[in-house]
Amino acid sequence: MSPARPQRVCVLGATGSVGVNTLDVIERHPDRFELVAISGHRNIERLAQQTRAFQPRWVVVPDDEARHQLQDLLGPVTTDILVGEAALAEVAASPDVDVVMAAIVGSAGLTSSLAAARAGKRLLLANKESLVVAGDLLMRAVAESGAQLLPIDSEHNAIFQCLPAEHRRQGVASVLLTASGGPFLHTPAAQLARVTPAQAVAHPNWSMGAKISVDSASLMNKGLELIEACWLFGLTPADVEVVVHPESIIHSMVRYLDGSVIAQLGTPDMRTPIAYGLGYPERITSGSAPLAFDPTLKLTFDQPDRQRFPCLRLAEEAIAAGGTLPTVLNAANEVSVAAFLDERLGFTDLARINEQTMDRLGTMAVSSVEQLLEVDHRARQVATTVIKEMSA
């Protein structure tokens, strides 16, 4: 059964990996969804292709240069081109939008995620950094406005599916957050300092943006996801067990008091959680290949190695300390990952820079979004200084 009128969808970060997958699912269901707004940042050519294909009402670009470039590529069109970060929040909160897919990478996605939450939208949250930076404020905004927050991160989407439909904590003993372990799962510690950005972004199971691919390789992604899970489901770090599962077939699990464990399985394809969020509570087709239960299907498990991958431990420390420390860690990590991708840092420096930035800034009680954006800015400066000192 399709809804009476198509849901009007806004996809922020449409040109990225999650954005492209979201448009793929939307295109399969023209009777259910109408794409009314998209945004891009640097990839204006892809944004132009998407605009031609979907003819949304609004397209958001970062600056006037991008606007001119897009106008030149498009020629005369009916789409309105809006400019700047404020425009992202504006379209996310527009009364002419029902559903917002937050698929911008990094804390740059926070303001628009919050705007969608405050405006009471169905918020499909891929941008985990929003929750890491401002989990308390974002969850409160959702509760106050009656917004519907559905996690798109595959693990959190799996946990959402495995929790009881009502009384969502009833009988739950713990949550099992699965981790592929990334491309360096079996790389000896002594070799980690020499791995290259190209090796780090070559994830064994998932095709994703560069930043999250490096985070997966360092296990920072699992650390960010631990923090994300705590906010989404009202958990403490002690309620979450991180389990290495290299095949990425089980996307996460919930352990119950009676000994039952409920898991969500599927081929590693982001279109599955995206379709779940778009269609909820109904199930719709996503285009993902069905999981084959044959002798090639292997499910293996291990414990994470916090010695070789200290970023996971840093995230555990940050959420345990609370306040602004997760914001500091996230900002330091965005800076260190960018420097690593730019070949200005080694892989094992990522954790060092993140830790030193946390040590130098410490934590404060959270008071407002403005304060968190200020902390984010300050932590970026400190991380940049730490990188300079290290390479001097």
Contact status: 269 vs Mg ion (CB under 5 A):
no
Q: What whole-number distance in Å separates Cα of residue 275 and Cα of residue 280?
A: 8
Alpha helices in the chain (DSSP H): 17-27, 44-54, 64-74, 85-93, 110-118, 128-145, 154-162, 189-192, 197-201, 210-218, 220-233, 271-279, 310-321, 325-341, 349-361, 369-391
Q: Is the Cβ–Cβ distance between 248 and 171 less than 8 Å?
A: no
Q: What whole-number distance in Å separates Cα of residue 74 and Cα of residue 76?
A: 6
When CB distances to Mg ion are compared, the closest residue is 153
Q: Which does 19 bind (CB under 5 to 8 A by kind): ligand NDP, Mg ion, none?
A: ligand NDP
- Specify the residue, 215 or 355, whose C-beta has the smaller distance to ligand NDP: 215
**Tokens 């296990």 -> residue:** 219
Binding window for Mg ion (CB under 5 A); candidates: 146-154, 293-301, 316-324, 344-352: 146-154
Q: What whole-number distance in Å separates Cα of residue 65 and Cα of residue 128?
A: 29
- Specify the residue, 37 or 356, whose C-beta has the smaller distance to ligand NDP: 37
- Specify the residue, 153 or 316, whose C-beta has the smaller distance to Mg ion: 153
Binding window for Mg ion (CB under 5 A); candidates: 79-87, 150-158, 291-299, 365-373: 150-158
Among 98, 129, 155, 215, binds Mg ion (CB under 5 A): 155
Count helices and strands in the chain by DSSP H and E runs: 16, 11
Q: Map the footprint of Mg ion across residues 90-129, applying CB under 5 A.
A: none
- Specify the residue, 221 or 357, whose C-beta has the smaller distance to Mg ion: 221
What is the C-alpha end-to-end distance of the chain, expressed in Å?
63
Least distance (Å) from Mg ion to the CB of residue 276?
14
Least distance (Å) from ligand NDP to the CB of residue 66?
9
Q: Which two tokens stand for residue 199?
A: 């090796």
How many residues of this chain bind Mg ion (CB under 5 A)? Answer: 3
Binding window for Mg ion (CB under 5 A); candidates: 20-28, 47-55, 148-156, 374-382: 148-156
Q: Which does 155 bind (CB under 5 to 8 A by kind): ligand NDP, Mg ion, none?
A: Mg ion
Binding window for Mg ion (CB under 5 A); candidates: 151-159, 160-168, 252-260, 278-286: 151-159
- Specify the residue, 115 or 220, whose C-beta has the smaller distance to Mg ion: 220
Say which residues have a Cβ less than 8 Å from residue 18's Cβ, sequence separation at least 6: 101, 103, 126, 152, 209, 270, 274
Least distance (Å) from ligand NDP to the CB of residue 65?
13
Q: Which does 13 bind (CB under 5 to 8 A by kind): ligand NDP, Mg ion, none?
A: ligand NDP
Contact status: 228 vs Mg ion (CB under 5 A):
no
Helix axes 369-391, 128-145, angle to 10 degrees: 170
Report which of 129, 196, 182 is spatially closest to residue 379, judged by C-alpha positions. 129
Q: Which residues bind ligand NDP (CB under 6 A)?
A: 13-19, 40-43, 103-105, 108, 126-129, 153, 206, 208-209, 211-212, 270
Q: What whole-number distance in Å separates Cα of residue 90 and Cα of residue 380?
A: 26
DSSP 8-class letter at 348:
T
- Contacts to Mg ion by CB under 5 A: 153-155
